[in-house]
Structure 1
Amino acid sequence: MDRLRCPFHGFTWGLDGTMCDLPCAWDFPHVDPAAYRLPQALVDTWGGFVFVNPDPEAPTLRDYIGDLPEHFQRFPLEERWMSANVAKVLACNWKVGIEAFIEAFHTFAVHPQLITTSGDTITQYDVFGEHVSRMITPVGVPSEHVTRDVGDDEILRSMLFARKGLSVPPDGTVRGVLGDEMRAQLAERTGRDFSDLSDA
């Protein structure tokens, strides 16, 4: 690709920002192609994504994302593929929508069916620099909001990714069984070895 072309009106620019084609130029006598350059932008890539920043004074992408790439070394995003595309329109500001996926505090109120298998109250939040954070919510353990005993079989039946018929051996734990299952499924899907990952 050596040009950027508007698919609607056909205005075309070179990759250096110069206007190459002004369709029906006679209708635009006031447009000087030399003065209608595209503005410069910072462009970089990471993990198969292209990042465009219109602020020429902004820090580089590498400086901005800090050590985020280190957290994805085992799971390279550029090797992922889309197996399904699901969209939902939410009647809210995008920040409100995304907030639900960066904390577990709401689980007991919004998803009470999950509290027998989700350690929402012991979720770990880590902050790495100014722009990178991580949330780790353990699964396979009941929430502290559960006031009754939850058996191993109930936890296994509740886990959507676990195959039917799994059971906890006498000297094992639910977390161990679920860890083995998740490692096996990841290996099957990616062709990689995850045997060194813990049950944590």
Structure 2
Amino acid sequence: MAESDPRIKGAPLARCPGESVRDLALADTNPVPEFLYTDEYENLGSAPIPASRYTDPAFFELERQKMWPRVWQFAAREEELPEPGDYIVYENVGRSFIVIRQEDGSVRAFANVCLHRGRKLKTGDGWTGELQCPFHGFTWNNDGTLKQIPCRWDFSHLSDEAMKLPEISVGRWGGYIFLREAAEGPSLEDYLAPMPEHFQRWKHEECATALWVGKVVPANWKVVMEAFMESWHTVVTHPQLLPFTGDANSLYNIYGDYVNMTVTPFGTMSPHLDPKGRPQQWIVDEFVKYNGRSSDNYEDQDAGGFNVKVPEGMTARAALGASLRETTTRMFGHDVSFASDAEMMDAILYNVFPNFSPWAGFQPNIVYRWRPWHDVDHCLMEVRILTRVPPGQERPRAPEMKLLGLDQKWTEAPELGILGDVFEQDMENLPYVQTGLKATMNDRVELANYQEIQIRQFQNTLAKFVEGKL
């Protein structure tokens, strides 16, 4: 791309030599959306990040006070509360909210606190015809209006209007439900841009949660989240993925303050490997063994390329794309014959500030969420897999999250398949990143200029919130 291209602000950054995402896109079987291979970023410089942002309880408190209340947070999927009266409890950094489906199909959210003596109204998800406090019986309608005060004669000083439950802003997009505590700020559509435009092609509103696993991790939420904002750790942390992953040739785009996108190509060999003597069939066979979204996660051993043979003169990438188009159409009833090889297999990951990361494309999609877990040194990492709902079928209710404790491994959730092993490789690093950051003597985290540009964007946005600039 030319240096004068307005989609690159500042001098273009150095890139790994070899076959790029753009090269692969232009050789794809079907047309690839231009935004998946067009660079769009700002040169954000090379300044270090203070290590104390990950370890200092005082900075953790600044996040709680100045950042979390002002951002849109992914709270639920629509299939978690399909019927009127269904509700979920969303909690983060000491805040607690009830998200509840209304009779007209809308979704509203309220502070999950009784306005009498402060008891939480709900402690888990479920269905209810009213919101009643288990302590003294103060009761609200599902729309947050006051229904009943026991011994009302003793509360003549309280009006019905004053006793409405405090309501929280709700936004809905693509089957996702978001909350924002602050009333002011950008609309959800503006906050997510350009995702709503990009995802018109992939329509996550046509998907449902097939599995959902969470795990408590002994590291700061940013340490864990940032491990999923770059692909180049694959060469050491996930070496089994190198035969079919173009890790160092990934494309990293950033869009304003809140959104970024990574495209890591699959079905092509890592530039860290010597291709000599490696046939295209070997790439396919390794993809079948170790691809984390292969069909062993959803009970069809013939899908995902398990029996793919690469014809003479065809690339592994093209052969995998053809197989995945056929099996996806057959399994989920959506015709994806038009889809590119890139959309069928690549790791296309969007990160939305501060803690929501959905994969894109037409394969079963991973969705990540990270939240602080009680203190600066622990977090809850959640992994969902979304699959497409066949046409004419109702979206099934989401399963409950399987919660793994601090001493459990991701592999103790067998429904994750090979993904559990991949996450465990990450866990071999992350707790030691946290303790290492506490032991550092220079309070500096140094970042790559391009391959970690999304971490720098994230940290810049976080600093703007903490300093009151957003």
Q: Shorter-chain TM-score category? A: 0.7 to 0.9
What is the CA–CA distance in structure 1 between the aligned matches of 2:327 and 2:227, rounded to whole Å?
26
What is the CA–CA distance in structure 2 between the aligned matches of 1:119 and 1:48, rounded to whole Å?
31
Structure 1 residue aligned with 2:158, among 2, 8, 32?
A: 32
What is the CA–CA distance in structure 1 between the aligned matches of 2:152 and 2:224, rounded to whole Å?
44
| CA RMSD between the two structures | 2.7
Question: Following TM superposition, where does structure 1 have runs of at least 4 consecutive aligned residues deviating by more than 6 angstroms?
Answer: none
Unaligned runs of 5+ residues in structure 2 are 1-101, 104-128, 289-293, 295-303, 343-470
What is the CA–CA distance in structure 1 between the aligned matches of 2:259 and 2:177, rounded to whole Å?
18
Aligned positions of 1:45-194 closer than 5 A: 45-147=172-274, 149=276, 150-160=278-288, 161=294, 162-194=304-336
Q: State the SS of the aligned residue for 1:51.
A: strand
Q: State the SS of the aligned residue for 1:45.
A: strand
One-letter identity of the residue aligned with 1:5: L
What is the CA–CA distance in structure 2 between the aligned matches of 1:133 and 1:47, rounded to whole Å?
17
Q: Single out whichever of 172-181 and 63-72 deviates more from structure 2.
A: 63-72
One-letter identity of the residue aligned with 2:234: T
Cα deviation 1:11-60 (Å, max 9, x = unaligned): 4334664332345768x859835433322322221112222211111221
Q: Which has the higher contact order (CA 8 A, sep 6+)?
A: 2
Q: State the SS of the aligned residue for 1:88.
A: strand
1:7 Cα deviation after fit: 6.6
What is the CA–CA distance in structure 1 between the aligned matches of 2:206 and 2:188, rounded to whole Å?
20
Contact 1:118 1:138 in 2 (8 A): yes
Contact 1:187 1:194 in 2 (8 A): yes
Contact 1:19 1:33 in 2 (8 A): no
Q: State the SS of the aligned residue for 2:253.
A: strand
What is the CA–CA distance in structure 1 between the aligned matches of 2:223 and 2:186, rounded to whole Å?
27
One-letter identity of the residue aligned with 2:331: R
- Residues 51 and 169 (structure 1), Cα distance of their counterparts in 2 relative to 1, 3 Å cut: same
1:8 Cα deviation after fit: 4.5
What is the CA–CA distance in structure 2 between the aligned matches of 1:153 and 1:126, rounded to whole Å?
31
1:137 Cα deviation after fit: 0.5
- 1:5 aligns with 131
What is the CA–CA distance in structure 1 between the aligned matches of 2:194 and 2:167, rounded to whole Å?
27
Q: State the SS of the aligned residue for 1:116.
A: helix
Q: State the SS of the aligned residue for 2:244.
A: coil
Q: Percent identity?
A: 36
What is the CA–CA distance in structure 1 between the aligned matches of 2:224 and 2:150, rounded to whole Å?
41
What is the total number of aligned residue pairs between the two structures? Answer: 199
Contact 2:133 2:139 in 1 (8 A): no
- Residues 170 and 148 (structure 1), Cα distance of their counterparts in 2 relative to 1, 3 Å cut: closer
What is the CA–CA distance in structure 2 between the aligned matches of 1:171 and 1:23, rounded to whole Å?
79
Larger Rg: 1
Q: State the SS of the aligned residue for 2:191.
A: helix
- Residues 142 and 78 (structure 1), Cα distance of their counterparts in 2 relative to 1, 3 Å cut: same
Length-normalised TM-score, structure 2 = 0.38
Contact 1:40 1:56 in 2 (8 A): no
1:135 Cα deviation after fit: 0.8
Cα deviation 1:129-167 (Å, max 9, x = unaligned): 332211111011111222453322221111133434422
What is the CA–CA distance in structure 1 between the aligned matches of 2:157 and 2:228, rounded to whole Å?
47
Unaligned runs of 5+ residues in structure 1 are none
- Residues 47 and 153 (structure 1), Cα distance of their counterparts in 2 relative to 1, 3 Å cut: same
